[in-house]
Amino acid sequence: MARKTQEKREDLKQRLIEAARNRIAADGLSNLRARDVTQDVGCALGGLYTVFADLDDLVIHVNSATLKGLEASLALAEVKDHTPTDRLRNLARGYLRFAVAHRNLWKALFDHRPPDNRPSPEWHLEEHMFLMGVIAEPLAELQPTMSETARAIRARTLFGAVHGVVSISLEGRFVGLPIESLEQELDDFILTVAAGAAARQV
């Protein structure tokens, strides 16, 4: 019996994540309401709180699924034998394409702020760090003498830079790039950064 209850809980949890994911994808994180999500899966409002601490906890699970989708979009296995520069280009292109294809889910990764008294759990922060590791790895080949700590920081810088170019353009804020030239320009930007990293290594 205990196993059956556990299975039911897990099933409800997955259905709520899926419903929240669909709601965020369609209407954006700021329009997410617990009542809509529970109605979508056909459970009582209170049902959500038997499997998640609160709506923020549910959003973290959606963001976790989004990060897994992003990872798949980066096509890491396909380019593993390429040059480090080409692997960085591939990362930037995969990131841009994922952001374009899943705009609202991608925005939710950045727009969600967990409440101050309950920061994001460790397992979720480790999912963020996985992405940084994926960037640090080709950097290590471009600048082999850099310390591991410095490289981890450099990976965050490069992520922030690519994210900045993508987000300021997609969101149409301030003076972003025209969308038509975004992929080409981002690619050229990575080529410049990689050439700079190699040149400074010498």
Q: Which residues contribute to the site for a copy of itself (CB under 8 A)? A: 109-110, 113, 128-129, 131-132, 153-154, 156-169, 173-178, 181, 185-186, 188-189, 191-200
Name the residue nearer to a copy of itself (CB basis): 1 or 199.
199
Closest CA to 152 of 165, 141, 137, 163: 137
Residue 112: CB minimum distance to a copy of itself, A:
9
Look at residue 108 and give its three-state secondary structure: helix
State the DSSP code for 121: P
Sign of CA dihedral 140, 146, 152, 156: negative
Q: Smallest distance, Å, CB 183 to a copy of itself?
A: 12
Buried b (16+ CB within 10 A) or exposed e, 100-121: eebebbbbbbeebeeeeeeebe
Nearer to a copy of itself, 12 or 106 (CB): 106
Nearer to a copy of itself, 31 or 157 (CB): 157
Q: Measured from the CB of residue 22, what is the shortest distance to a copy of itself in angstroms?
A: 23
CB of 182 to a copy of itself, least distance (A): 9
Cβ(17)–Cβ(61) below 8 Å: yes
